[in-house]
Structure 1
Amino acid sequence: MVKTVIGVFDSKEQAEKAVSQMRNSGFDTNEISIVAKGAKGEAGRGGNGDDDDDGDGNLGMDTVADGTTTGGVLGGLAGLALGAGALAVPGLGPIIAAGPIAGLISGAATGGVAGGLIDWGIPEERGRYYEGEVKKGRILAVVRAHEQKVGNAAKIMRQNGAKDVETH
């Protein structure tokens, strides 16, 4: 049975380290998703915002249209950023989503991050909480994998500073 593990990171470095460790532990890129708040003006085009550390407005990830990845923030996570894109979410603004969740969020644009999480079994109330964390600038890591693997994902998240780690 497939389950979902979700956690919140305060920094991109924590999230990047956790995802790297998960990849080294055998998690595939189609099991790991990242959601982060984007810079103003970037939604849908990769933009040139100035709210992130690498200065290009895309948290180090190129848009889906570019078809490439950068070596920067979260984009250094190998194939994970291949599905990355900037999305405009009503009430939330521009976000960057990498991994399988990107499609869920874009497909449920009116439901935003919470709507995408609901599709993966996260209760609506918790989904709204996690969406609020992204809105505050935190980074959401979501792993959807076989139930035998989710315990390891949760452990890795916690070891790397994730808060509010839950399994559903």
Structure 2
Amino acid sequence: MSDQCVVAQYNDPSHFLTAIEVLEKAGFTTDEVSVVRKRSDVREAISANVKDSTSDSPPTGATTAGATVAGGTIGAALGTATMIGPMLVVGPIAGMVAGAAGGGMASAVESWGMQHGVASRYERAVQEGDDLIIVSGDSVLINQAQRLLHTVSYKSLERYESE
């Protein structure tokens, strides 16, 4: 696992879905991108994108992005998803969270230089309805992810590096 990450926090589901789509179009994979959402939000994203096959209109951008999240990032990684209370964690961080001794997400991400209190704040934000995208990797990958995530409106965008 890398020792750097960038965390993008979203309070608007459409911006979150767009950010996932931007990362996927840039070639980021589920080995580099983790998603943290409330379980109910995941179910809503999947349900909202179940489409009537008789519809004559093409899917909207939001529907396409939602389907990408449901069918791509989240759908492909559901086998490795980890539940933490009301949260669903997908991607490489899921294994870290599962392996963390009782500390949940906060203990798992400290290796990236994130303070325990900051990680706990992110956990609370997700419980209150925000969504997180966490990209981990080397500095080149993190720089690219940060540039891409800056193109979509976010609540916060923070970079963490171990010292």
| Fold shared, TM-score > 0.5 on shorter chain | yes
Structure with bigger RCO (C-alpha 8 Å, 6+ apart): 2
**AA paired with 1:163?**
K
Whole-Å separation in 2 of the counterparts to 1:22 and 1:72: 14
The answer for the alignment partner of 1:16 in structure 2 is: 17
For the residue of structure 2 that corresponds to 1:74, the secondary structure is helix
Gaps of 5+ in 1: 40-45, 61-70
* Residue identity (%): 25
Whole-Å separation in 2 of the counterparts to 1:9 and 1:20: 14
For the residue of structure 1 that corresponds to 2:158, the secondary structure is strand
The root-mean-square deviation of aligned C-alpha atoms, in Å, is: 2.9
Whole-Å separation in 2 of the counterparts to 1:73 and 1:27: 13
For the residue of structure 1 that corresponds to 2:137, the secondary structure is strand
- CA offsets 1:6-64 (integer angstroms, 9 cap, x no match): 1101133222211221122232220000001113xxxxxx9xx7xx35559xx99xxxx
Tell me the number of residue pairs that the alignment of Structure 1 and Structure 2 aligns. Answer: 142
User: Cα distance, 1:100 vs. partner?
Assistant: 0.8
Whole-Å separation in 2 of the counterparts to 1:25 and 1:31: 12
- The question of 1:123 aligning with 2:115 is answered yes
The answer for the alignment partner of 2:135 in structure 1 is: 143
Whole-Å separation in 1 of the counterparts to 2:101 and 2:18: 29
Larger radius of gyration: 2
Distance 1:24 1:133, change over 3 A: same
| Higher helix fraction (1 or 2) | 2
For the residue of structure 1 that corresponds to 2:150, the secondary structure is helix
Q: Is the 8 A contact 2:82 2:98 kept in 1?
A: no
For the residue of structure 2 that corresponds to 1:159, the secondary structure is coil
User: Cα distance, 1:103 vs. partner?
Assistant: 1.3
Distance 1:25 1:118, change over 3 A: same
- CA offsets 1:91-135 (integer angstroms, 9 cap, x no match): xx2211111111122222621222222243311121111111111
Whole-Å separation in 1 of the counterparts to 2:150 and 2:39: 24
- The question of 1:82 aligning with 2:76 is answered yes
Gaps of 5+ in 2: 51-65
Residue from 80, 85, 89 that aligns with 1:97: 89
Q: Is the 8 A contact 1:30 1:80 kept in 2?
A: no
Query: TM-score by structure 1 length?
Result: 0.70
